[in-house]
Amino acid sequence: MLAILLVLLVILLLFGGGFALHLLWWIAIALLVVWLLGFLFRSGSGSRWYRW
């Protein structure tokens, strides 16, 4: 019985982790696109539209 519970717990963790990692990849891609657009469309004076 304990082995079945451990297997179910591992499956649940892997499924949850996989979903969270998939979501984090999409967020990272979106932030990369915004960052690249910031380089492409910045003003010629060299000032940045962000503070970091």
Taking only the tens of pLDDT, the chain with its 52 residues reads 888 888 888 888 878 777 788 888 899 999 989 888 877 776 555 555 555 5
49 with 38: CB under 8 angstroms?
yes
Q: Report the predicted TM-score, pTM, of the whole model to 2 decimal places.
A: 0.54
CA-to-CA dists, residue 2 to 6, 11, 14, 41, angstroms: 6, 14, 18, 58
